[in-house]
Amino acid sequence: MTKSVGSAGAAKVTGTATIESVADIIERELQSVITDWLFRVEQEPDLKSIPLNFEDRTGHLPQLLHDVIARLRLDAGTKAPISKAAAHHGDLRRKQGYTVAMAVEESRLLQVTIFATLHKNAHNLEFSKLLPDVVTIADEVDAQLKEQMLRFMAADAAEHAKGR
């Protein structure tokens, strides 16, 4: 039995496996991505050195991941919007005492976690779109990191201007 429902994020059923888009898999696995990311973060002494509760540590992830999912679902050639959630996250992490290196590490761990999630779901992946989607994920997560770093630098410049 084969069931196909369009190409923009729809699932196909072939025999016993349901073939899904990368965006659909990330959306379906959202909570496990957050849980797995938190586990990875908690293995990093630098990141663990900032004591945060679950909400303070992970509260930004649903929106950042929804931004990734939205980006994956954009038509080819459509310019991606700048993530407002990433800017807010940059401000928040700076106030929480994060360094630039710590923010970069969190971002790296997010990519690792997303890719590990895709690997766990390889039997459901639409392989013809996998590599372009991996490139899109990396580009979006890096664009979010850039936005965070711009906020770090703006806050540093403001402090410097005040003479701190």
Chain segment 73-115, per-residue pLDDT in tens: 998 778 888 889 999 999 999 999 999 999 999 999 999 999 9
Instruction: Output the DSSP codes for 8-38.
Output: SS--EEETTEEEB-HHHHHHHTHHHHHHHHH
- Tokens in use for 150? 């711009």
- Structural domain total, the chain: 1
| pLDDT category of residue 164 using cuts at 50, 70 and 90 | low
- Domain for residue 14, yes or no? no
Model pLDDT, residue 12: 58
Q: How many CA atoms lie within 13 A of 52 on its CB side?
A: 21
In a domain, 75, yes or no: yes
Q: Tell me whether residue 28 is in a domain.
A: yes
Q: Using N-to-C axis directions, what is the helix angle for 100-120 and 30-41, rounded to 10°?
A: 130
- What is the tens place of the pLDDT at every residue in 123-160? 999 888 899 999 999 999 999 999 999 998 998 888 88
CATH number at residue 52: 1.10.490
Residue 71: band (very low, low, confident or very high) from pLDDT cuts 50, 70, 90: very high
Q: Does some domain include residue 153? A: yes
Within a domain: 35: yes
Residue 11 placed within a domain: no
Q: State which residues form the domain around 109.
A: 21-162
